[in-house]
A and B are shown apart, each in its own frame.
Chain A
């Protein structure tokens, strides 16, 4: 497990990923069980939600409206609206920050970079670790909901859930690669975490609030949340254009990170 940077960092993730797996299994069991228990009263839920103002629904992460009569609609509110993105963005930002800014902060990078590993190789292996973490947690979410929807006989289309999970993983990766980039510029862990979190919050509100005001309605296109959720992937399946835009953002952020890290003073 200590052959290279990827395997060593993967080993460090073991405990972390185990907790995520347990947590997500518990969460998906609980939500599936809860939905199964009150599914008979869903019509009254829908009536209640219909009475909510659009501004409130936007802030709740339900820009596309809410349909509590299906398990997919329920998951859209409970998981994929706000909670899931927050969870995955935290994972992304933490992973991206740790690669350069975190190692600089811990003063562990000097020894690594004075060994035989090149800066590009170091980044590639760490980006693979970030990808592994984000896609593992995303996969846990997919698998656990598929298992419990089957156990509780809930109607959930696997392909559409998979599409949503891909949107979610890419949202996380966008913020992970953005943090990597910010870390490669600032070299400071706290600054990187703060700036990345601020951009995430701003991005969320830009998507949630700007469409409500005529003058700013097009601002949503500058928010990554628009590409994550506005196509409503749990209902419509994966949106290739949105996936392309989020992938492109990741590629741009990561490419610039390679350039800035190459010339970064490590001290």
Chain B
């Protein structure tokens, strides 16, 4: 993907707010998705991910705020054909078979061509079976096919791997990567942290309807709690180490000690420099640990 294109904003969400009566929905959600980017929307169930997506797609009217897609507030019906959506609660017309249903949706998008068969083979799905005869996982596969069958420019996926076994989850991730390479920008909402970590470049964390972080995963990891393992030439004094700013989980075993630091490490460096350090190891925190720092 051309790096200039990568900087082109394809989705701009600004101060999106929606309340359900007195209940909080989402409050001033803002983030951008660049062309060819996979953006992860992370948060537990009920945090506001689905409300954000529905507001973006005008399925529900936000109380305030806006979503610009391709730089426009309102898309023409033809432009909407370049966006595909996989809802979290995905239901289909059970009296149709997979082929009929997918052709119908493809026609509603005014798509001239589709790659239904190729995707069905990739996901090992029989499209001649009636939808009401399919298992939950197979229904989800139809959802994934409908999302990518018309080579969309933007795909919005709300909890897409629900019901899929690990092998098919992997296959699904390959499909996402494949379409992303072709230039498809993707918004992936999920509470499965590994999925976000494997696929996304940027991630937004939603908590109680508010976006509390929206950053590159690498930056997010930098800002998060980091774990250290340090070997000294002799057993360090616990009383000195406990004074380090932001320290937690301090464990000392002979000359080795492990601890976590939240925030900058300046005070930690100054403190340990008073000892003779034999070895220092920074243990990479995974997304789950980052996630937990926000909750």
Contact = CB atoms under 8 A, between A and B. Distances in A.
B81 A115 contact: yes
A116 B111 CA distance: 9
Interface of B: 50, 54, 57, 59-61, 77-78, 80-81, 83-85, 87, 89-93, 95, 100, 103-105, 107-110, 146
A12 B101 CA distance: 12
B91 A117 contact: no
Which 8 pairs show the lowest CB-CB distances between chains A and B? A265-B60, A107-B91, A2-B104, A115-B108, A114-B85, A116-B77, A266-B59, A116-B81
A113 B81 contact: no
A4 B91 contact: no
A3 B81 CA distance: 15
A50 interface: no
A118 B109 CA distance: 11
Interface string A1-35: 01111001000100000000000000000000000
B89 A113 contact: no
21 contacts: A2-B103, A2-B104, A2-B107, A4-B107, A4-B108, A111-B92, A111-B105, A112-B108, A114-B80, A114-B83, A114-B84, A115-B80, A115-B105, A116-B80, A116-B81, A116-B109, A117-B77, A118-B77, A263-B61, A265-B59, A267-B50
Contacts, number: 65
A106 B107 CA distance: 21
Contacts of B90: 107, 111
Contacts of B60: 265-267
Contact of A116 (B50, B100, B110): B110
Given A265-B59, A267-B60, A117 B108 contact: yes
Contacts of B84: 114
Contact of A5 (B87, B100, B108): B108
Contacts of B91: 106-108
A108 B92 contact: yes
A177 to B, nearest CB: 24
Q: What class of interface size applies to chain A in its complex with B?
A: 20 to 34
A110 interface: yes
B80 A267 contact: no
A140 B84 CA distance: 42
Given A3-B107, A8-B104, A114 B81 contact: no
Contacts of B100: 2
Contacts of B92: 108, 111
Contacts of A107: 87, 89-91
A107 B81 CA distance: 20
Contacts of B54: 110, 265-267
Interface of A is mostly: loop
A116 B95 CA distance: 23
Contact of B85 (A8, A111, A263, A265): A111
Nearest to A266: B59
B54 to A, nearest CB: 6
A17 to B, nearest CB: 15
Given A107-B91, A266-B54, A267-B54, A114 B59 contact: yes
Contacts of A3: 107
B93 A113 contact: no
B80 A111 contact: no
A108 B96 CA distance: 13
Contacts of A2: 100, 103-104, 107
Contacts of A111: 85, 87, 90, 92, 105, 146
A117 B80 CA distance: 9
Contacts of A265: 54, 59-61
A39 B235 CA distance: 115
B239 to A, nearest CB: 56
B228 to A, nearest CB: 46
Contacts of A12: 93, 95
Interface string A93-117: 0000000000000111011111111
A113 to B, nearest CB: 6
A118 to B, nearest CB: 6
Nearest to B85: A114
Contacts of A263: 61
A266 B104 CA distance: 20
